[in-house]
Amino acid sequence: MLTLFHAPQSRSTAIVTLIEEMGIADRIEIRETDIPRMDGSGRRDPANPHPEGKVPCLVHDGTVLTERGAIMLYLTALFPEAGLAPKPGNPKRGEYLTWLFWYGAVMEPVLILDWSKIESPALQASLRGAAEVVARLRAALEKGPWLLGDDYSAADLLCHAPWAWFPEGTPDDPLIRDWVARCQARAASARVKARDAAAMAARAAA
């Protein structure tokens, strides 16, 4: 049995969108949960098995998985027929894995540090900066239209996510803005955004 713990309008939205894209919503129970939020609202849900009370958290027959890249890798491997990731043996597989791991190890930390105006020679030396993140994405998209070339994948879903959440921070680069807009215009993204908005409105009215 597969269960995803999801908080509307949070990091787990990307996983719900992946599930929609893959057409596997009938095979996964999506359990809405609460989390502490930056504005002080929300609380930790004791029913959520994530070690830090965060989302996303995927439970498969008692095994707990956290972190978006790991969950995306797991689901796309579990349901390869959905076509959201290159299969083992495909030359694009290495690129796909690299994007998933680079996002969590470099891209998101760099963007958070940049938005927080935190600078340090050590951080710059190890992670580089926002300019390097943008340059790496642009180099891939110049060969595009997606990060892996002709095919949209879970890598696009994950790597565009910061600017889906914070569109004002999208780099002033036409190539990247077009890519983000195309990711957001996909039917799965629109459906999940609408459901998340409705869930948050219901919470506010309760």
pLDDT of 97 strictly over 90: yes
* Mean pLDDT of all residues in 52-72: 97
Question: Domain 2-84 maps to which CATH number in 3.40.390.10, 3.30.460.80, 3.40.640.10, 3.40.30.10?
Answer: 3.40.30.10
- Per-residue pLDDT of 146-202, as tens digits, reads 999 999 999 999 999 999 989 999 999 999 999 999 999 999 999 999 999 999 999
Please state the domain extents for the chain.
Answer: 2-84, 93-187
pLDDT score at 79 = 98
Token couple for 42:
């929300």
List Cβ neighbours of 159 (8 Å cut-off, separation of 6 or more): 99, 103, 107, 137, 147
Looking at the DSSP assignment, which residues form a beta bridge with residue 146? 149
**CATH of span 93-187:** 1.20.1050
| Mean of pLDDT over the chain | 95
pLDDT band at residue 125 using 50, 70 and 90 as cut-offs: confident
